[in-house]
A and B are shown apart, each in its own frame.
Chain A
Amino acid sequence: SQQGEEDPQALSIQEGENATMNCSYKTSINNLQWYRQNSGRGLVHLILIRSNEREKHSGRLRVTLDTSKKSSSLLITASRAADTASYFCATYAGGTSYGKLTFGQGTILTVHP
């Protein structure tokens, strides 16, 4: 089964607006992480939320996790043109001592100046 599906696939907003991206997954998880990928570059870790946490903040980022619905959302407040990138959620299901991650297909965010 496919784990980590993001919604929407693409999001276009104006600078200053908030951007919300959603991620759904199918199996139980130990933690969920969000990554950003600028065009043609590697991934940058943004935030990690554990299965026993419901909400986490980091600067302009807010992540929520609802394990009963197997979903997470990433909110970027007061977006900037520099936030333009692809955003991926990745889940770690547990059962190993290492972080074997399953990535979703990503949301492409475009922030217009």
Chain B
Amino acid sequence: NAGVMQNPRHLVRRRGQEARLRCSPMKGHSHVYWYRQLPEEGLKFMVYLQKENIIDESGMPKERFSAEFPKEGPSILRIQQVVRGDSAAYFCASSPPSLGSYEQYFGPGTRLTVT
């Protein structure tokens, strides 16, 4: 059973470009979380999705950021018109669909560098 997969592992974008980060949850997991980690800081919750639904996006910046988890395929975190402040590690985590399952399984992260 493969773990949570994220790609790319490293992504370099120039200011103004778009960044697309992908996350494939563990097999059988239908809940996906995205977190952002700035250098030398803890992880900050961004968004929680179930298949085809955004459940909680309270941690997501209102502009330029969007997330989706389609019926088929990976979850995508999309950052439009990136700025230097978007440079960070972005982690995806998944959990099983059962209620009360609060343990999360993390992917290796995508390190975004904006030049």
Contact = CB atoms under 8 A, between A and B. Distances in A.
Classify chain B: how many residues form its interface, as a range: 20 to 34
Interface in A57-113: 88, 90, 92, 96-106
Interface majority SS (helix, strand, loop, mixed), chain B: strand
A42 B45 CA distance: 15
Contacts of A99: 33, 95, 101-104
A41 B111 CA distance: 10
A98 B105 CA distance: 14
Interface string A13-32: 00000000000000000110
Nearest to B102: A99
Contacts of B4: 42
Interface of B: 4, 6, 31, 33, 35, 40-45, 48, 55-56, 91, 93, 95, 99, 101-109, 111
Given A31-B102, A41-B108, A103-B42, 9 more contacts: A35-B106, A40-B111, A42-B107, A98-B56, A99-B95, A99-B102, A100-B45, A101-B45, A106-B42
Interface of A: 4, 30-31, 33, 35, 40-45, 48, 88, 90, 92, 96-106
